[in-house]
Amino acid sequence: MRIAHFSDLHYGSRTLAEADRCFGAAIDRAAALSVDAAVISGDATDHALDLHAPAARRLVAQVRRLADHCPVLLLQGTYSHEPPGTLGIFRALGGRHPIHVSEGIGQVVLTRGRGWQRCPDWRFEVLPRDAVAVFSCLPTVNKAELAAAVGAVDAAQAVGEHLERLLAGWAPSHRLARERGLPTIGVSHGTVFGCVSEHGVPMAGFDHEFTTGALFAAEAQAFMLGHIHRHQAWCRQGDRGKQLIAYPGSIGRFHYGEEGEKGFLVWEVGADDARCTLEATPARRTIDIVFEGRPDLDLLRDAIARQDVTGASVRVRWTVADEDRGAVDREAIQRMLVGAAEAKLEGRIVPVVRTRAAGISQLPHLEDKLRAWAKVAEVRPEPLLACMAALDHAQPEVIAARLIGSDTDSTPSTRHVLPESLSELV
């Protein structure tokens, strides 16, 4: 059986252009490959959407277009992205083929008539006669809710134990299907221990987490996962044939710095074998140019020439002190990025931190305050004290004459710079 596996479409107001371009191209490719069914394994939306929102209208239209080609299974994703109830509208789309929305734990079979038949319980004890494939669905489980009740450590252990028992409990149904020569597919949305994010960072979070051993113990030939935005896979060959676990990653590139190709998976699943290939989508190119200090326009020009920013989304980042924020020529940077599809300028301002000497305002004499300030500022107080003495006793004309003649003056005691503000001493 050939199955198109999409995930993490993240339709929203901010992501609409990227999501719709990539998902639309993926549907075209899936139709060209004549897939038998399609799976969307969670996070079809980026957040709660009003039905009249452009992102909602486009998502509904694209899923309907997919359902006109083949049966579709949609899985509930992360609650913060896809609030419970969001997917209910897809049950009423009325495409050429049915759409099954999985919002709870359970099994469903695809029938010879290309329809979906849901198990009334959490698993099949006897498979329907006209079944052609078995799908075991595990929507997102929010560990945060359990953590609030029993604590984070206990929640992780409790969720892990329940998931292991649940997955192992599906194994008998999958054995029955394998005996009849039927493909077996698990579908879920969560984190595999040891997986890596789209930014190359090991993942951990408040959504449920699996071990590969627990997933393989379900004895499904294919386990189609969502939630992680980077394509990755795990394979095991044994007495149950070839088993494969895989994330397709997000359909498009929604953040800067994402590594790897974007796309969807085309699976070939049999009774004792599974394999998949990543089909790339026309995801946007992103380029990060980072300066530790103020942007150097010459270096920026070189970076632009090396990386070809034409049509790409470019982010320029820098870090400057608070007093230098006005020295960054944003307009010049924008002009240099005129060929980019998007130019995002992000400046990080480091505030000036001033340190006061404890009790400085209580000292009786200005000389004592200056010595306390010099200690905090880690400078020698003697030159500053000499300058103060000169201000007290010398005439302004004498001080000016000494400064003007400082190149030949052999007594440079009055040439030291005074504190930036005398208010620092009081």
Separation CA 19–CA 58 (nearest Å): 10
CATH number, domain containing residue 79: 3.60.21.10
CA angle 68/33/109 to nearest 5° reads 60
How many C-beta atoms lie closer than 10 Å to residue 90's C-beta?
20
> Hey, what amino acid is at 58?
R
Instruction: List C-alpha distances in Å: 58 to 64, 155, 190, 204, 224.
Output: 10, 38, 26, 32, 24
In a domain, 417, yes or no: no
Q: What is the pLDDT of residues 390-406, one digit of tens each?
A: 887 888 888 888 777 75
**Same domain, yes or no, for 10 and 26?**
yes
Residue-range definition of the domain harbouring residue 390 = 360-405
Phi, psi torsion values for 349, nearest 5 degrees: -100, 125
Structure-token match 């107080």, residue found: 381
Instruction: List C-alpha distances in Å: 265 to 107, 314, 418.
Output: 22, 28, 69
CB contact at 8 A, 413 and 386: yes
Of 29-33, 141-145, 253-257, where does mean pLDDT reach its minimum? Answer: 141-145
In a domain, 422, yes or no: no
Distance of CA 90 to the CA centre of its chain: 26
Please report the pLDDT score of residue 397 as a whole number.
82
Please report the pLDDT score of residue 355 as a whole number.
62
**Same domain, yes or no, for 259 and 380?**
no
pTM over 0.75: yes
More confident residue, 153 or 273: 273
End position of a domain, from candidates 280, 303, 336: 280
Q: What is the pLDDT of residues 179-211, one digit of tens each?
A: 999 999 999 999 998 899 998 888 765 556 789
Please report the pLDDT score of residue 7 as a whole number.
98
In a domain, 342, yes or no: yes
Q: Is 50 exceeded by the pLDDT of residue 414?
A: no
What is the full DSSP assignment across 149-195? HH-HHHHHHHHHHHHHHHHHHTHHHHHHHHHTT--EEEEEESEETT-
**Same domain, yes or no, for 99 and 204?**
yes
More confident residue, 409 or 405: 405
Which residues contact residue 277 at a Cβ distance below 8 angstroms, ignoring those fewer than 6 apart? Answer: 265, 266
In a domain, 424, yes or no: no
Which residues contact residue 422 at a Cβ distance below 8 angstroms, ignoring those fewer than 6 apart? Answer: none
**Same domain, yes or no, for 206 and 120?**
yes
**Same domain, yes or no, for 215 and 74?**
yes
In a domain, 45, yes or no: yes
When divided into structural domains, the chain yields a total of 3
In a domain, 414, yes or no: no
Structure-token match 């038998």, residue found: 36
CB contact at 8 A, 90 and 118: no
Please report the pLDDT score of residue 405 as a whole number.
72
**Same domain, yes or no, for 27 and 48?**
yes
**Same domain, yes or no, for 50 and 147?**
yes
**Same domain, yes or no, for 82 and 8?**
yes
In a domain, 420, yes or no: no
- Give start and end residues of each alpha helix (H) in 180-296: 212-217
Tokens representing residue 89 in the block: 């509208």
Please provide the distance, in angstroms rounded to a whole number, between the alpha carbons at the two ends of the chain: 81
Of 219, 206, 98, 131, give the one whose Cα is nearest residue 168. 219
Count Cα neighbours of 113 within 13 Å in the Cβ-side half-sphere: 7
Please report the pLDDT score of residue 148 as a whole number.
52
**Same domain, yes or no, for 252 and 314?**
no
In a domain, 423, yes or no: no
**Same domain, yes or no, for 246 and 340?**
no
Q: Is 60 exceeded by the pLDDT of residue 417?
A: no
Q: What is the pLDDT of residues 35-79, one digit of tens each?
A: 999 999 999 999 989 989 999 999 999 999 999 999 999 999 999
Share of the chain above pLDDT 90, in %: 62
**Same domain, yes or no, for 274 and 290?**
no
CB contact at 8 A, 89 and 57: no
What does the mean pLDDT of the chain come to? 88
Sign of the torsion angle spanned by Cα atoms 352, 356, 361, 364: negative
**Same domain, yes or no, for 216 and 83?**
yes
